Amino acid sequence: MNTTVFKTIGIGVTFSPNLEANINEAARLALFFGSKLILIHVGKSSEDKLTAFSSLLSSFKDQGLVFEVTFNSGDPVEVILSTTEQKKIDLLIIGALKKEKFLKYYVGSIARKITRKANCSILLLINPSKDRVCCNHIVVNGLKDPKTEETLATAFLVGNKLGASKITVVEEISDDEVSVKVDDDKSLRRSTIIKERLRVREEMRVKAILKTIPNKLTKDIKIKSQPIFGKRGYSIGHYAQVARADLLVMNAPRKMNFWDRLFPHDIEHILTELPTDVLIVQ
């Protein structure tokens, strides 16, 4: 298991009102993780731009930040994705707007396209800020999925680096797994028993994964396990919102097709309604 988590962090930058906040967040994270920061700008290279970026990062440079700015013109999605490959970026930071327009949902905004296509981990920030906002509570999915082990490990690493005090592992259990439909008292009793059994089974599974995580990562963090019966992807976002989590860590989705976007599931739900900052672990 690597302890540096992310060696190279990338962020797409344009001259928008959010620029300073975005760069600050990215730089801060790069310092926390001890990784190299790459600013990806879509557009022609120029001295002015470079000095503008450098001046924004000057205070972090004094703290030992290593960074690089790349310039490439073309389609933003293409540029960002190809740079990610070239520079071997393993965490891409995307500043997201909290509410995206209804129509864009079908077309897909730039950020969303990148999220779907990227091969690295992605951090979606809902409100980047100039000053540091601490990260206390991390919610992470505990789905029954081969990727989950890696995701949980990453969540604990990130939690340690950011000084989180609490990590909640959410096991989403689909309603279909409860084979009994509630009709009357008798079926309610049966479904309650089945749910209890599923709950125990899921908690055991998560506990087994948690055992594989090094003790030094888990010892300072309060761990909570929360099984939820509900729709996958949607309920974890809802839970993160209700539990006022500061960061939601999720598995990267399997490849999607058109229908997945039309009938959103899993991660798509989160993308339409970002509950908080979201880290998608590849």
What residue ranges bind other proteins (CB under 8 A)? 102, 181-189, 191-192, 195, 199, 224, 226-231, 234-235, 238-239, 241-242, 269
User: Angle at CA 71, nearest 5°, toward 117 and 40?
Assistant: 45
Closer CB to other proteins, residue 71 or residue 229?
229
Q: Nearest distance from residue 108's CB to other proteins, in Å?
A: 16
Closer CB to other proteins, residue 11 or residue 236?
236
**Phi-psi domain of 64 (left: phi exceeds 0; alpha: psi -120 through 50; beta: other):** left
Q: Nearest distance from residue 198's CB to other proteins, in Å?
A: 12
b/e code 8-30 from CB counts within 10 Å (16+ = b): bbbbbbeeeebbebbbbbbbbbb
Q: Nearest distance from residue 103's CB to other proteins, in Å?
A: 11
Closer CB to other proteins, residue 131 or residue 258?
258
Q: Nearest distance from residue 194's CB to other proteins, in Å?
A: 11
Q: What's the CA gap between 266 and 235, in Å, rounded?
A: 9
Closer CB to other proteins, residue 71 or residue 105?
105
